[in-house]
Structure 1
Amino acid sequence: MMRVASYNMRKAIGTDRRRRPERTLEVLRELDADVIALQEADRRFGSRASAMPLSLIEEHSDYKPVPLGARSGSLGWHGNALLVKKHVEVIDKELVHLPSLEPRGAVLADLKVNGMELRVVGMHLDLSGLWRRRQAHAILAHLDARDGEPPTVLMGDLNEWSVRGGCLREFGHRHRIAECGRSFHARRPIAQLDRIMVSEALEIVESGAHQSATARKASDHLPIWAELRPL
């Protein structure tokens, strides 16, 4: 069994408009997932430093960032980052360029979780439906081009308001989509913008949106999670 999660942390700015990285970290601790895909993990301007100080993560949680090496002081790339429990082995990692009008990308890591190899992709897709579909094609093509076919988890903020259409149709041809429920807006969720999708080698045992009091304040998105096991 393993637990994965995805969280658009909104640069650690809560629904009270205050930037409180300690509060964001508390949500991550509540999730207690083996692997977490983050979106909007870095500040948007200037040096684009991590919205959560790296020292805060290392000293006050069981997590470590996958070292993407995209920019000094940043947690991720184009805001996308992957955190893993400290016992998880990082075998390989890669930045995935996505077609877009504004800078967009995805992050990929090959991991060993509880003795099992796992490929994880974290993403934050475009607001435009046309570009989302193109980005889905790019991610799937990139997966096809990589060596091996380990069990794979794709997760992130897809910005897809449709329940089954749009880019979900592209991903759904070869992946199961977890029923995590509505995650946006955190105070009163009305849309399933955040998604976890898995390859056929994985079973989705349980999934949902994390709705603690802290999570409802820490971002405008609720984090989502899924319990998985190999078939």
Structure 2
Amino acid sequence: MELTFASYNIHKAVGVDGRFDPDRIIRVLRELRADIIALQECDRRFGERESVLPKAMLDDTPWHAADVARRPRSLGWHGNALLVRRDIKVGETEALHLPTLEPRGAIRADLECEGKRIRVLGMHLDLSGLRRREQVQAVLDHCNGHGDGCPTVLMGDFNQWGEGRRALRELRGAWQVLETGRSFPSRRPLASLDRIVASPDWTCHDARVHHSPTAAAASDHLPVVARLAIA
């Protein structure tokens, strides 16, 4: 079984030109041709925290949203959402609280595809290195607490500028931190803030930043993509 995973911080659908343009985000998502997409900053931060991508817009796409929202007008949890190809069955979902002073969260969905169960977690980590390490550890503790050997993929905006920082060192060894490339800022990428991390069950056939004229304008981040296979 081979699946394409993607992670994309959509910056509340506001592009580098300052325009709010959800349609442009949808065009980028279509370019990715991904089976499973983790989104960050997909909901407004205040009020009813409504999605910046109207749910009706997804009706004409290959994906549906995993049920992780805790507010009726939200697509995700603390801005994190998972879009899943329509023929992939979504099982148990969970919204995770991450340790921080600023509201942060992660989401988990157990999926069934071609008779196999896989687990996907999406997240948007803190700017603070100390908090980020604690958040990574909380995610790992959650995975270990569900110690059923389920093949797992972690995706999101890790807000990690340096390769040698401790937050990523927590993952290396037991996990595959894929070299997707520099994704921020979108016009002239300097940092690999956006990450895809896979459990050892997966074989990576491709990992890259998706760069197109539309993606360079649609958000301040570029999407990252990985093609992963499992026996």
Q: TM-score range by the shorter chain?
A: over 0.9
Residue 99 of structure 1: aligned partner: 99
The aligned amino acid for 2:175 is H
Unaligned stretches of 5+ residues in structure 2: none
Equivalent residues of 1:160, 1:166 under 8 A apart: no
Residue 29 of structure 1: aligned partner: 30
TM-aligned CA deviation for residue 113 of structure 1:
2.6
Residue 139 of structure 2: aligned partner: 139
The aligned amino acid for 2:179 is E
Residue 49 of structure 1: aligned partner: 50
Counterpart Cα distance in 1 of 2:139 and 2:124: 12
Equivalent residues of 1:107, 1:123 under 8 A apart: yes
Deviating more after overlay: 211-220 vs 142-151? 142-151
Counterpart Cα distance in 2 of 1:226 and 1:115: 21
Residue 12 of structure 1: aligned partner: 13
Residue 63 of structure 2: aligned partner: 63
Root mean square deviation, CA, Å: 1.0
Counterpart Cα distance in 2 of 1:120 and 1:211: 24
Residue 192 of structure 1: aligned partner: 192
Counterpart Cα distance in 1 of 2:159 and 2:182: 12
Aligned residue for 2:213, secondary structure, equals coil
Q: How does 1:80-229 map to 2 (within 5 A)?
A: 80-229=80-229
Equivalent residues of 1:154, 1:198 under 8 A apart: yes
Counterpart Cα distance in 2 of 1:157 and 1:85: 21
Equivalent residues of 1:34, 1:113 under 8 A apart: no
Counterpart Cα distance in 1 of 2:147 and 2:192: 32
Counterpart Cα distance in 2 of 1:180 and 1:211: 12
TM-aligned CA deviation for residue 230 of structure 1:
1.1
Equivalent residues of 1:125, 1:158 under 8 A apart: yes
TM-aligned CA deviation for residue 147 of structure 1:
4.9
Counterpart Cα distance in 2 of 1:94 and 1:126: 20
TM-aligned CA deviation for residue 83 of structure 1:
0.3
Unaligned stretches of 5+ residues in structure 1: none
TM-aligned CA deviation for residue 228 of structure 1:
0.2
Counterpart Cα distance in 2 of 1:151 and 1:23: 32
Counterpart Cα distance in 1 of 2:48 and 2:66: 19
Runs of 4+ in 1 over 3 A off after TM superposition: none
The aligned amino acid for 1:107 is I
Counterpart Cα distance in 1 of 2:11 and 2:61: 19
The aligned amino acid for 2:103 is P
Aligned residue for 2:170, secondary structure, equals helix
Taking structure 2 as the reference length, the TM-score comes to 0.97
Taking structure 1 as the reference length, the TM-score comes to 0.97
How many equivalent pairs are there? 230
Q: Deviations 1:86-135 (Å, cap 9, x if unpaired)?
A: 11100111111110011111000000134322100000000000000000
The aligned amino acid for 2:53 is M
